[in-house]
Structure 1
Amino acid sequence: MKWLVALLMISAMWQGAAASEEIASSPTLSRIASAGEIAIGHRTSEVPFSYLVNDQPTGYAIELCRNVIEGLEATLGLSDLKITYVPVTPANRFILVRNGDVDIECGVTTNTPERRRQAAFSYPHFLTATRYVSLANQHMDSLQDLAGRSVVSTTGTINIAQLNELNRTEGLNISVMLSRDHEEAFAMVASGQASAFVMDEILLAGLVSSAADPDAFHISQATLSSAEPYGLMMPPDDPVFVDLVNKELRNIYQSDTIRTLYEKWFLQPLPPDNRVLNLPLAPALAAIFANPEQYIE
């Protein structure tokens, strides 16, 4: 019996030493351990990923990050980390992550080659394509239907570049308009100020579902992009932190936790008004959860 106790003590000491070494080798983890807190970047209105209910951040990406943090606490012995929530926008999210004001951004940031030069990304947690929303009575559905119209998208998103590229290559003579946020862009469509709003299809679905009359809007079948991944965004040049976050995500993906989270946020009534997106898990996303390593750049 004594040898078993000794073995357990040695194992615990080895694990503690390994955790200390990982913390020391990661600027992000060193800062987190020193402060006793971790900063989560969140959005204020990106249903169902990251939004506010009674001024508290909630959503699929937020809950996923909380599960990751619980795993990091256990792995590194960083018990009772305080979570600080930092609101971010499409325009400032990369700056806040690079400056260390945000340790991990839990929202709807698409992982692209260009963006990987500015920040690090986790395994994907969702896939979405770019479409547009318009008023249903306008009977718009194809990309050609955008020709000669005023079309809006949000500043600081990849959707602006996609819209400009479509306009250039197809010669559609679109008047491209910029909005400060998605709600403003959607309101411009609702009021007729813009004919369409180009954005990630899942975010458009969330906006339409929360509208007073969802049937008044139509999301196009036509896409401006193939399905692209959302990832948790982290500071650049800190591979130790990224690897540990991905390790925790892998554990979540290969347990029942991810299915429970997905069903909660995409198939069940959402707070605060009990809307239902009714979006079953797509086979492509299920494949990522089953084998996330092959989807990381």
Structure 2
Amino acid sequence: MTFIPSLHPLKAAAATLLLALAATAGAQQPAPAGTLEKIAASGKAVLGVREASPPMAYMLGAGEKYVGYHVELCERVLKDIVPAAKLEYMAVTAQNTIPLVQNGTLDIGCGPTTNNLARQQQVAFALTTYVSEVRMATRVDSGITTLDQLAGRTVSASTGTTAVQLLRKRERTNNVSINTMLGKDHLESFLLMESGRADAFVLDDNLLAGIIANSKNPTAYRIAGEPLGSEPIALLFRKDDPAFKAAVDGALRRLMKSGELERIYTKWFVAPIPPKNTSLNLPMSAVLKQLVLEPNDKPLESYAK
């Protein structure tokens, strides 16, 4: 029982009633709405996109138009499952994507995010729509062609990416020292290598190809060395929202079955892409072709086995 000191009997009764009403209202608060309900109520879907991760997600021109393979997949999926919703784009980084999905600011993350077990504790992932190889970009005149040559050198990587973890793992495994210099985004990380402050830049092969193709002098750089690892890349959204995951996965399956996903892939990885209308020349891998035939959402750890 709640004790209300020094009140007139009528005031005490009123106060008790107010407390009871407040308690009842608190008990009757609805559970947080699922993503589909949230989008229906607001009339909009918020997409998390990257500003500098071509060809997966990047900003084109000064008009803040976002384009790329994963941006287009997000758009196609949302137009399928919530056709009346307005699409709203929010620029995010590798570091803040997951927190913004967790707190409901983003309805879906459309950047190149790796699906791994640690992240599955925080968010949910859609079916895998790209499998990347983490490799290094170097200046052609650097003479660096193998990962072994990174020992004792400075290597750039973007904050929040799995490339950072893979570099540290290589240090431990090979008992070498690599000075990892972190950029806030991929363009800053590339600039560290371009300007000579870093000897190499480590990132997913597709992103490296996109950044090199759009650089001031594409022929001055190359992707070299063996892969540090292979990683499944997928769209992401709130955890514990099975209805939204089922809707997103269903839309992706339809794109895969119809051949439309492969056409979208070719548009961004094989055909010339803006702003310089250069081609990345990265045909769909055998692994991704198999995933289109037999889709799954397995994490990175299953690829390491």
Partner of 1:234: 237
Question: Aligned partner of 1:62: which letter?
Answer: V
Contact 1:25 1:240 in 2 (8 A): no
Matched, 1:104 2:108: yes
Describe the SS at the equivalent of 1:123: coil
Q: Cα distance 1:296–1:161, how it changes in 2: closer, same or farther (>3 A)?
A: closer
Alignment of 1:29-48 (within 5 A): 29-48=36-55
Question: Aligned partner of 1:46: which letter?
Answer: S
Partner of 1:255: 258
Contact 1:40 1:104 in 2 (8 A): yes
Partner of 2:3: none
Matched, 1:146 2:155: no
With normalisation by structure 2, the TM-score equals 0.84
- Distance of 2:156 and 2:37 partners within structure 1: 42
Instruction: Show structure 1 runs of 4+ deviating over 4 A.
Output: none
Partner of 1:137: 141
Per-residue displacement from partner, 1:34-82 (whole Å, max 9, x unpaired)?
Answer: 1111111100111111111131111111111111112203xxxxx4211
Contact 2:107 2:238 in 1 (8 A): yes
Per-residue displacement from partner, 1:12-35 (whole Å, max 9, x unpaired)?
Answer: xxxxxxxxxxxx996111111111
Deviation at 1:221, TM superposition (A): 2.6
Matched, 1:84 2:88: yes
Partner of 1:7: none
Partner of 1:186: 190
Partner of 2:72: 63
Deviation at 1:212, TM superposition (A): 2.1
Per-residue displacement from partner, 1:241-277 (whole Å, max 9, x unpaired)?
Answer: 1111101100111102112211111111112220111
Unaligned runs of 5+ in 2: 1-30, 300-305
Unaligned runs of 5+ in 1: 1-23, 74-78
Per-residue displacement from partner, 1:175-233 (whole Å, max 9, x unpaired)?
Answer: 121111111111111111011111111111111111222221121231211x2111001
Partner of 1:272: 275
Partner of 1:157: 161
Matched, 1:120 2:129: no
Contact 2:150 2:178 in 1 (8 A): yes
Contact 1:26 1:241 in 2 (8 A): no
- Distance of 1:52 and 1:215 partners within structure 2: 23
Per-residue displacement from partner, 1:101-131 (whole Å, max 9, x unpaired)?
Answer: 1000111001111111111000011111111
**What is the percent sequence identity of the aligned residues?**
36
Partner of 2:59: 52
Q: Of 209, 216, 221, which residue of structure 1 is paired with 2:220?
A: 216
- Distance of 2:92 and 2:183 partners within structure 1: 16
Q: Of 72, 82, 90, which residue of structure 1 is paired with 2:81?
A: 72
Question: Aligned partner of 1:160: which letter?
Answer: V
Contact 2:206 2:282 in 1 (8 A): no
Describe the SS at the equivalent of 1:222: strand
Moved more, 211-220 or 154-163: 211-220
- Distance of 2:173 and 2:263 partners within structure 1: 43
Report how many aligned residue pairs link the two structures.
Answer: 267
- Distance of 1:261 and 1:211 partners within structure 2: 23
The RMSD of aligned alpha carbons is 1.5
Question: Aligned partner of 1:262: which letter?
Answer: Y
Question: Aligned partner of 1:254: which letter?
Answer: K
Contact 1:41 1:105 in 2 (8 A): yes
- Distance of 2:266 and 2:250 partners within structure 1: 22
With normalisation by structure 1, the TM-score equals 0.86
